[in-house]
Amino acid sequence: MSERPSTTAITSRGTPSRYQPVALARRIKSKLSDLFRRTRACGLYQDGMAMEQVAALLGHSNIETTRTHYARPSKEQMQESMKKGMDKELEKKEWVGNTDEIKRKFGLL
């Protein structure tokens, strides 16, 4: 007796070809739900919600998961943080605004 050829081919991912549309739909659904979670978490964080609250909302026990994968600062938040940091640095410098002190430090006086 000759063996009948299989009517279901196996793809490179090991999924029978007749199930490929179902597998594809599940992967798309999974990616879309991940995208929605990430987008919502970023939006909440950028709107001012504390990182701890975003983590709790997402059900993360480790806040680092939220910090690295979900909550990204906006450009405005990064600019504001840099401005605050620069303002603090400038407050520490006794020579800021003192042109004579600057000239003296660079040997121009």
CB atoms within 10 A of CB 90: 10
Residue spans per domain, the chain: 10-72, 74-109
* Residue 5, pLDDT above cutoff 60: no
pLDDT band at 10 (very low <50, low <70, confident <90, very high): very low
pLDDT (tens digit, 9 = 90+) per residue, 16-68?
Answer: 566 677 777 777 777 888 888 888 888 888 888 999 999 998 888 998 988 88
The three-state (H, E, C) secondary structure of the chain, written as one string:
CCCCCCCCCECCCCCEHHHHHHHHHHHHHHHHHHHHHHHHHHHHHHCCCCHHHHHHHHCCCCHHHHHHHCCCCCHHHHHHHHHHHHHHHHHHCCCCCCHHHHHHHCCCC
Paired with 16 in beta bridges are 10
